[in-house]
Amino acid sequence: MINIYAERFIIIFIRVAVILSFIPFIGGRLTPMKVRASLAIAITLLLLPVVPSENIKVDNPVEAVFEALFIGAAIGLTVRLILSAVEMAAQWISFQMGLGMAVVFNPAFGEILGPLSLFYSLLAMMVFFILGIHHFFILGIVRSFDISDIQYAGIFSSIMELNSIFFPLAFKIAAPVLVVQLMIYFSVGFLARALPQANIFFISFPLLIAVGILFVALSLPMVLMVISKAFMHVMDAIMVFVE
């Protein structure tokens, strides 16, 4: 009896740990390993008595571990995709503003990012927790054990379909600031041709930064709306994976 529960515990723990590792902040490097491991063990112990035994392939542990890793990575990658699109949009804005060389360390993911990338990443994480998307991850973990036969092709096609929103989402977030910055570049170019003796480009650098920061602030309501809609797609995708 103990051996059966031990084998089920390992398989459930792997799936829970993989999914939790993809959740922002909870699975980030900023959260101590003891906290992440304790949370994964606690959820595993809660699921252990209620998970249908026929859906856990105890007799084939290799296949069971592979299924756990596949389901966990599929659910976790959905939110990582949104956060990567947000970071890419912030990088586009940073380069256009002339902040490409300014970098800071993001302790949540252990990455070197631009200051705007860190700001947008924290903004996306705030929306993530306000909307309660982490609750859908827990629900996805629970419902994933109700699947008796995993449809690998269907899940993979769903991931690829969700991947198609990556660049459109990044462009929607960065578009307001990029359009204004392009207009400034065109204006500076015309002034440089009209007044070749003046150093217009030296004036354009602080102008780009000031106007960029202004329009980043003005576009925040639209950015929050776009990110919120993207996370709504994440909730739908999680439910599709575990149907």
**Residue 149 confidence (pLDDT):** 67
Strand partners, 111: 106
Instruction: State the pLDDT confidence band at 117, using cuts at 50, 70 and 90.
Output: confident
**How confident is the model over 125-138, as a mean pLDDT?**
81
**Distance (Å, whole) CA 93 – CA 173:** 10
Structure tokens that stand for 215 in this block: 């329009």
Name which of 2-6, 52-56, 98-102, 178-182 the model is least confident about. 2-6
**Distance (Å, whole) CA 32 – CA 18:** 16
240, pLDDT greater than 70? no
Total residue count of the chain as it appears in this document: 243
**Residue 187 confidence (pLDDT):** 79
Provide the percentage of residues in the chain whose pLDDT is more than 70: 74
**Distance (Å, whole) CA 84 – CA 116:** 13
- Closest alpha carbon to 188 in 179, 199, 197, 178: 199
**How confident is the model over 170-175, as a mean pLDDT?**
87
**Residue 1 confidence (pLDDT):** 46
pTM over 0.85, yes/no: no
4, pLDDT greater than 60? no
Most confident region among 29-43, 167-181, 226-240 by mean pLDDT: 167-181
**Distance (Å, whole) CA 151 – CA 144:** 12
Q: Are strands 111-113 and 104-106 parallel, antiparallel or unpaired?
A: antiparallel
| One-letter-per-residue 3-state SS of the chain | CHHHHHHHHHHHHHHHHHHHHHCCCCCCCCCCHHHHHHHHHHHHHHHCCCCCHHHCCCCCHHHHHHHHHHHHHHHHHHHHHHHHHHHHHHHHHHHHHCCCCCCEEECCCCEEECHHHHHHHHHHHHHHHHCCHHHHHHHHHHHHCCCCCCCHHHHHHHHHHHHCCHHHHHHHHHHHHHHHHHHHHHHHHHHHHHCCCCCHHHHHHHHHHHHHHHHHHHCHHHHHHHHHHHHHHHHHHHHHHCC
Q: Which domain holds residue 156?
A: 2-241
**pLDDT tens column, 101-112:** 655 555 555 556
**Distance (Å, whole) CA 102 – CA 139:** 40
30, pLDDT greater than 50? yes
164, pLDDT greater than 50? yes
- Closest alpha carbon to 96 in 33, 176, 164: 176
For tokens 């949104």, what's the residue?
82
Strand partners, 106: 111
14, pLDDT greater than 70? yes
Q: What total number of domains does the chain contain?
A: 1
**How confident is the model over 185-197, as a mean pLDDT?**
75
**pLDDT tens column, 32-46:** 788 888 888 888 888
